[in-house]
Chains A and B, each alone.
Chain A
Amino acid sequence: MLSIDRSIIDAIVSHARRDHPDEACGVVAGPAGSDTPTRHVPMENAARSMTFYEFDSMEQLRLWREMDDRDEEPVVIYHSHTATEAYPSRTDISLAGEPGAHYLLVSTREPDTEEIRSYRIVDGVVTEEPVRIVDAAVDPHAVQSYMFGQSPATVDYECSDR
């Protein structure tokens, strides 16, 4: 199972929507061995294609070095399919090179529906897994406004002058 923070999922989906109809791609790094994705890194799709994605080789080297230095690993590798379902294609399966990663697919074919699925891809074998989206604890730095009739769990991230 993949457990991932709601804010990271939101950032991935908005990256995918922004790059639509081209495919978007990126990584969510996390502490090595933790299986916990914590740091979202959107990557350029060097192929700039509606049906193909590829990390720029130099950008990939920089990120992989950085993860090494921070004792992180690519916990999630994500990309979008912009006209088809969020299921790995034959290309995805044959090119999957990180056996420890969760391969997250986002489909942007429906503008109003979030379609997110996650897979392990090892030696050409695809195994779908559940995705548990975790709502982070209330951010202590956020401005909280408890207005009449609202629950105190409501968090206002805008610094309004109300």
Chain B
Amino acid sequence: MAIEVRIPTILRSYTGGAKVVEGSGDTLTDLLADLDTRHAGLRARLVTDAGALHRFVNVYVNDEDVRFLGALDAKLNDGDSVTILPAVAGGAFGFAAAAAIASHAAATRAAAAR
């Protein structure tokens, strides 16, 4: 058994064009490490240097956003389906986006400090 991972168009350059790949792992962190052994570079597009999930990448386990499941610590089981989608976002000015990124970075630092 394995975990099915759905890859968005923009990241298919890492999977040889494949829309769906398989991987394994007990958590999202483990799964991404496993995928990176066969699809080098994929993990870096999803996880920041600080080790948090990118603010504008959405990852779902089955029908749930992983942000509600512990983000990278989200538990996985064989047969789960993981979907990756680039967030659709933007806007006229950078302020709101910068604020969103800054608050996310602050939360990440706070989480790391705990």
Contact call A81/B92, Cβ cutoff below 8 A:
yes
**Chain A: interface residue total (CB-CB under 8 A):** 34
Size range of the interface on B? 20 to 34
Contact of A52 among B58, B63, B65, B96 (CB under 8 A): B96
In the complex, whether A147 has a CB less than 8 A from a CB of chain B is: no
Q: A52-B96, A100-B9 are in contact. Are A61 and B58 (CB under 8 A)?
A: yes
User: How far is B92's CA from A98's CA once the two chains are assembled, in angstroms?
Assistant: 18
In the complex, whether A145 has a CB less than 8 A from a CB of chain B is: no
Contacts of B9 in A (CB 8 A): 98-100
Contacts of B95 in A (CB 8 A): 51-52
What residues of chain A have their CB less than 8 Å away from a CB belonging to chain B? 23, 25, 27, 43, 47, 49-55, 57-58, 60-61, 64, 77, 79, 81-84, 88-92, 95-100
What residues of chain B have their CB less than 8 Å away from a CB belonging to chain A? 8-10, 56, 58, 60, 63, 65, 67, 83, 85-97, 100
Query: Which 8 A-B pairs rank lowest in CB-CB distance, beginning with the nearest?
Result: A97-B86, A52-B96, A52-B91, A92-B90, A54-B89, A51-B93, A55-B88, A81-B92
